[in-house]
Amino acid sequence: MKHKLIQHSVFCILLSVLCLLYSVICTPSFASAESIQVSPVIEELSIKPGKTTTYPLVIANNSDQPIGIHADVTNFEASSYSSPLISWTSVSPSNIIIPSNEKKSITVTILPPANIKKGGYYAGIFLTPFVDKEKVPNAPVILTRIGTLILAQYGETDYTNLKEKVQIKNFSFNKLIYENSPFDFHFTVTNNYFTHFNAKPFVTVTTLFGKSEMLAISDKSILPGKSKTWNESITSKLFSPFYKVHLVVSVGAGNFITSDTYLIEFPGLHIILIIFLLLLLGIIATYHKRLRKAIFILLTGKD
């Protein structure tokens, strides 16, 4: 019985090794997203009711083998909301073969109806690599899609109104007290305007003594009804125990929104905390001895 159990274990181990070797040697390799480049990644354009707008979407194959591409128009993000821009947009051709190290383009056509409302619309074009035949019959095929974004707008942007409908939320540092820089912070910008805009943040750090420096932060496009969060870090050349940090977010055409927060820099804080804890423990230990002595005197009447 023991001999059969050993044989069974050896057989299972050999079978596992063979399966692993098969998966490494025989599993077909398919084009990955790294071998494909698309331009533009984000297309911003103006549309008019009942008028056709087109632009080329250029796809580059940087691999050493031909790659098939299937293009389809859909929501750019997982959501129950379906943008009307999806039904107005088509791509041609939707399936192409791109030779090795070459580029091809597909035409994106947008035809909105004549009765559209002023506003911002967005949709995604996803490019899915495919192969012309299976290298291993019935093998699972895992493909990586590449997404591009269409931002279409009908109507002029009223930046004064946009400013009133954009907010900075949760602007704060990850800690109130730092020993030294960098200082990590975060903030969120929400967009309640009818179209997208490009948010360009700047941070001004001012010391207790009035010295200041300005730091630029990467900008982000924010879709209508959406929010974007920044997680950033400041490495300041200034030194002060107290800082005021002023955040400015430009929304376009000279309009901006602001928010303020504060932080404290306390070098050697961990050493001071250790000393404080040791003193506190010493006080507790001394108090504990006196308390025990007082109880002993109270119960026994002896000093």
Q: What is the pLDDT along the chain (303 residues), one digit of tens a residue?
A: 444 444 444 444 443 433 333 333 333 333 445 688 999 998 999 999 999 999 999 999 998 989 999 999 998 766 656 789 999 999 999 999 999 999 999 999 999 999 999 888 989 999 998 754 555 566 555 557 888 999 999 988 899 999 999 999 999 999 888 888 899 999 999 999 988 899 999 999 999 888 999 998 999 999 888 999 999 998 887 878 899 999 999 999 999 999 999 998 877 545 555 566 666 666 666 666 666 666 666 666 666
Using alpha carbons, select from 263, 149, 171 the residue that is nearest to residue 217. 171
Residues 63/100, Cβ–Cβ less than 8 Å: yes
**Number of other residues whose CB lies within 10 A of the CB of residue 185:** 21
What is the C-alpha separation between 169 and 205, in angstroms, rounded? Answer: 19
pTM exceeding the 0.75 threshold for the entire prediction? no
Dihedral sign of CA atoms 81, 85, 89, 95 in order: negative
List Cα–Cα distances, 274 to 168, 268, 277, 280, 284, in angstroms. 38, 10, 5, 10, 15
Q: What is the pLDDT of residue 95?
A: 95
What is the C-alpha separation between 38 and 105, in angstroms, rounded? Answer: 9
Tokens of 65: 């083998």
In sequence order, the β-bridge partners of residue 43 are 150
Q: What is the pLDDT of residue 191?
A: 96
Residues 253/158, Cβ–Cβ less than 8 Å: no
DSSP 135: S
What is the C-alpha separation between 75 and 122, in angstroms, rounded? Answer: 8
Residue 159 contacts by C-beta under 8 Å, 6 or more apart in sequence? 251, 252, 253, 254, 255
Residues 259/178, Cβ–Cβ less than 8 Å: no
What is the C-alpha separation between 143 and 138, in angstroms, rounded? Answer: 15
Q: What is the pLDDT of residue 141?
A: 54
Residues 257/201, Cβ–Cβ less than 8 Å: no
What is the C-alpha separation between 258 and 214, in angstroms, rounded? Answer: 14
Using alpha carbons, select from 239, 228, 226 the residue that is nearest to residue 179. 239
